[in-house]
Structure 1
Amino acid sequence: MPDSIDLTQLARTCTGNSQRSLGCIPFRSETCSSHHYLYECYPYWCAQIKEAPRYHRKQWEFVYIAQALWERGMLKPGMKGLGFGVGQEPLVALFASHGCTITATDMDSSQAQQVGWTQTNQHAGNLARLNAREICDPKDFEELVAFETVDMNHIPPHLHGYDFCWSACCFEHLGSIPQGLGFVKNSLKTLKPGGLAIHTTEFNLSSNTRTIKQGGTVLYREHDLQNLLQELQESSHHMEPLLIHKGSQPLDDHVDTPPYSDDQHLRLLIGQYDVTSAGLIIRKGTTA
């Protein structure tokens, strides 16, 4: 087992119950790394979503999205958020608990069953499942959260005027690299000028040339995301510069293989490629 910091002990030493412990990191567009788990915000957000801290990139995605939104002033009463492909993730209830009005979206149940999301409990289907942990007061949740069925390749035009939107490792499942990047660009249409989009996805650490380009799961390379950054800039939007972390602990070199671990899972093998999660932070242009 690779050497790593004891996250349980770390959580005990952090205040974990006050936003004063969050500090200002700040997060940028970047890949998952073990050093993020040393931030005081990490056990704080884990406590908020009622999970024990663990070295798992999926949990990192939840912390990354929550912290990035909080840093930029989005998690407060009166803000409107739109979640794509929410499955049964805890972020919907978390953001509602901060007073945000949330529209949670996912694919329809029949399509989710065909691709296997329902069998693995990764599909929402209805509102009740989104607050199963009671992260948000049930009365507030009922008032603040709505659910819609949405195809991420065809975002309906009535979804607009949001302060922020997000997705957690979803757009790599839209069929191809261009389709996923098209979704990211189209998601900005749902935002007010100056609104914030935060998306996480699968990132290919092995190659900047070869990758999985189409199918059920595609893997984005550095140049795919750098090209996206340039396209967004040309359209008067701003994407935070992409940081690719090499890591500083033995755990950063550990590649998890099937059957995947519930811990020690910052990098994993998909096909022939070493993969981790990458987060993108995009600000919609004020004139776009």
Structure 2
Amino acid sequence: MPLGPLRSLIRRPRRAVLPQPATWLRQQAREAALLRWSVKVLAADLVQRHYAAGLAGPAVPLPEAPQQAGLSSRSCRQADIESPWLRHWCRALGAFPFYHRKLWEAGFILQVLWEQGMLQPGRRALGFAVGREPLPACLASRGVAVLATDLDARDSRARDWIATGQHGTGTDPLFRPHLSDRAAFDALVRFRAADMAALPADLQDGSRDIVWSACAMEHLGSLERGMAFVEAAMRCLRPGGIAVHTTELNLDGSGRTLARGGTVLFQQRHLEALAARLAAQGHRMLPLDLAHAPQIMDQYVDLPPFEDGRVPLGPLSPPHLRLSVGGHPATSVGIVVMAGQPPP
């Protein structure tokens, strides 16, 4: 078939012209950002489909009463976000069930404390690195007396937390009006500065029923310092008291990890070693449950930037149960430790 006039539309390929290295690197960086954004678009759409199916989201009912789940030390997972037990705590937290590990951490701590009979009037709780989190108000609404602590604002290590609005200096940012009136809150919640890396001796008096921290022990500079904090915090508890801490878990349990720096990543072997250390001191960590059938949200690893709007074409809300920390796949894990009688 003769090409005729079509011949003018057929262009011969031009000789490839390679860009300068610096230009090529900038192009690759821009395209990598667009690729991340495109993946986040698909993940955010997946979230909306789960909301439409009634698995989570703003339209799901929030049970008024808590429900038993039999939690032990445990990693974050999609099934928990969609569970009735977490939906109940969303009511107290002033949130709807969404696929984010920080929501899971708060719900996990509250559920464990409730299951262990600790959310009752007369209990005494000590929280570390509380920042502006809702847990002090949640505990106080159940009649628990709370001492909330955070790093002294004059400490240079507090600068980044202050800059990002995550540092605490008093009780005002901790108050939640939907849970109680201010007078009832003030009667039960106090604040003081405390360094997790060097706990004040007067806090280690064995008088508390509850100690907790939410994703704080991984910021103490090393894996060892994080584990040492957990051990020291046990001295704040009476026998029979309970410690609940959430931290960062490297899902690659056999490879390398971040062992030092501003954020470290614990692996299963480190948490098992911590359990052995605590057992030697008369305490008991509840069994570590990391085995579960992964669902789609458990297989999505979120990449930076996280929820700060600096994506190419606008903010998105993809699932954030898994994330990349220094190139390592990570999630949140909660450990539960029952205080025993310390050895003489």
**Bin of the TM-score, shorter chain as denominator length:** over 0.9
Offset from partner CA, 1:44-101 (integer Å, 9 cap, x none): 1111111122100011000000000000000010000000000100000000000000
User: 1:16 deviation in Å?
Assistant: 2.0
Aligned partner of 2:51: which letter?
D
Higher RCO (CA < 8 A, seq sep 6+): 1
Distance 1:220 1:89, change over 3 A: same
Distance 1:173 1:287, change over 3 A: closer
**Which residue, out of 202, 217, 242, partners 2:288?**
242
User: 1:248 deviation in Å?
Assistant: 2.9
**Unmatched tracts of structure 2, length 5 or more:** 1-41, 308-316
TM-score by length of 1: 0.93
Distance 1:263 1:13, change over 3 A: same
Aligned partner of 1:193: which letter?
P
Offset from partner CA, 1:101-159 (integer Å, 9 cap, x none): 00000001123675410121111111101115543321111100110100001111211
Counterpart mapping for 1:57-206 below 5 A: 57-111=101-155, 114-132=158-176, 134-159=178-203, 160=205, 161-206=207-252
Q: State the match for 1:257 in structure 2.
A: 303
Distance 1:8 1:94, change over 3 A: farther
Q: State the match for 2:336 in structure 1.
A: 281
User: 1:208 deviation in Å?
Assistant: 2.9
TM-score by length of 2: 0.79
Deviates more, 1:63-72 or 1:37-46: 37-46
Q: Secondary structure at the match of 1:117?
A: helix
Number of residue pairs aligned between Structure 1 and Structure 2: 285
Which of these two proteins has the greater Rg computed from alpha carbons?
2
Deviates more, 1:93-102 or 1:243-252: 243-252
**Unmatched tracts of structure 1, length 5 or more:** none
For 1:58 and 1:133, locate their aligned partners in 2 and report how far apart those are by CA, in whole Å.
21
Q: How many percent of aligned residue pairs carry the same amino acid?
A: 37
Offset from partner CA, 1:171-221 (integer Å, 9 cap, x none): 000011100000001100000011100000000012434111111100101
For 1:69 and 1:269, locate their aligned partners in 2 and report how far apart those are by CA, in whole Å.
30
Q: State the match for 2:37 in structure 1.
A: none
**Which residue, out of 302, 324, 335, partners 1:269?**
324
Deviates more, 1:43-52 or 1:85-94: 43-52
For 2:78 and 2:180, locate their aligned partners in 1 and report how far apart those are by CA, in whole Å.
29
Distance 1:247 1:134, change over 3 A: same
Q: Secondary structure at the match of 2:266?
A: coil
For 1:6 and 1:234, locate their aligned partners in 2 and report how far apart those are by CA, in whole Å.
46
Aligned partner of 1:121: which letter?
G
For 1:7 and 1:149, locate their aligned partners in 2 and report how far apart those are by CA, in whole Å.
44
For 1:183 and 1:176, locate their aligned partners in 2 and report how far apart those are by CA, in whole Å.
11
Q: Is the 8 A contact 2:151 2:158 kept in 1?
A: no
Distance 1:114 1:143, change over 3 A: closer
Name the one with the larger strand percent.
1
Q: Secondary structure at the match of 2:242?
A: strand
For 2:253 and 2:157, locate their aligned partners in 1 and report how far apart those are by CA, in whole Å.
33
Q: Is the 8 A contact 1:177 1:219 kept in 2?
A: yes
Q: State the match for 1:6 in structure 2.
A: 51
Aligned partner of 2:94: which letter?
K
